[in-house]
Amino acid sequence: MTKFKAPIIALLFLVKRTKSKRPRAKSEGLLTLRPLLFALCSLPLLGCSSNENAHTTATTFVQPPPRQVLTVVPAPSTPEPERSASPTRGGSSLATDEYIGVDLQKPLLLFNLPNGKSFCSGDIVGIDFSVRNAKLRAEGGEFRVRYIVDDEDAKWVDNPQPFGLSGWVPGKHTIRLELIGPDGWPYRNGNHNIVTREISVEAN
Q: Same structural domain for residues 33 and 106?
A: no
pLDDT at 180 over 60: yes
Task: Answer yes or no: is 66 within a domain.
Answer: no
Q: What is the DSSP letter of 23?
A: P
Over residues 82-109, the pLDDT tens digits come to 444 455 544 434 555 667 789 999 999 9
Task: Answer yes or no: is 104 within a domain.
Answer: yes
* Prediction pTM value: 0.63
Would you state the pLDDT for residue 101?
83
Q: What is the C-alpha to C-alpha distance for residues 122 and 119, in angstroms, rounded to an integer?
A: 8
Would you state the pLDDT for residue 84?
44
Q: Same structural domain for residues 44 and 76?
A: no
For the CA atoms of 97, 87, 157, 198, what is the dihedral angle to 10 degrees? 30
Would you state the pLDDT for residue 93?
42
User: In terms of Cα–Cα distance, which of 155, 145, 132 is closest to 179?
Assistant: 145
Q: Same structural domain for residues 91 and 187?
A: yes
- What is the residue-averaged pLDDT of the chain? 77
pLDDT at 36 over 70: no
Q: Same structural domain for residues 27 and 81?
A: no
Q: Same structural domain for residues 40 and 117?
A: no
Q: Same structural domain for residues 116 and 196?
A: yes
Total count of domains within the chain:
2
Q: What is the C-alpha to C-alpha distance for residues 166 and 22, in angstroms, rounded to an integer?
A: 93
Q: pLDDT over 70 for what percent of the chain?
A: 59
E-state strands within the chain: 71-74, 108-111, 118-120, 125-127, 129-132, 144-149, 155-157, 163-166, 171-180, 194-202
Task: Answer yes or no: is 62 within a domain.
Answer: no
| Residue span of the structural domain in which 190 resides | 71-202
Q: Same structural domain for residues 105 and 34?
A: no
Selected residue with higher pLDDT from 79 and 192: 192
Q: Same structural domain for residues 21 and 117?
A: no
Q: Same structural domain for residues 75 and 162?
A: yes
pLDDT at 135 over 90: yes
Task: Answer yes or no: is 58 within a domain.
Answer: no
Would you state the pLDDT for residue 9?
58
pLDDT at 76 over 70: yes
Distances (CA, A) of 192 to 92, 119, 179: 17, 26, 9
* Mean pLDDT confidence for 43-55: 53
**77-91, 104-118, 136-150, 176-190 — which is least confidently predicted?**
77-91
Would you state the pLDDT for residue 23?
52
Domain of 176, CATH number, reads 2.60.40.10
Task: Answer yes or no: is 168 within a domain.
Answer: yes
Q: Same structural domain for residues 77 and 26?
A: no
Would you state the pLDDT for residue 188?
93
Task: Answer yes or no: is 25 within a domain.
Answer: yes
Q: Same structural domain for residues 40 and 87?
A: no
Task: Answer yes or no: is 7 within a domain.
Answer: yes
Q: Is the dihedral of CA 94, 95, 101, 105 positive or negative?
A: negative
Task: Answer yes or no: is 57 within a domain.
Answer: no
Q: Same structural domain for residues 187 and 144?
A: yes
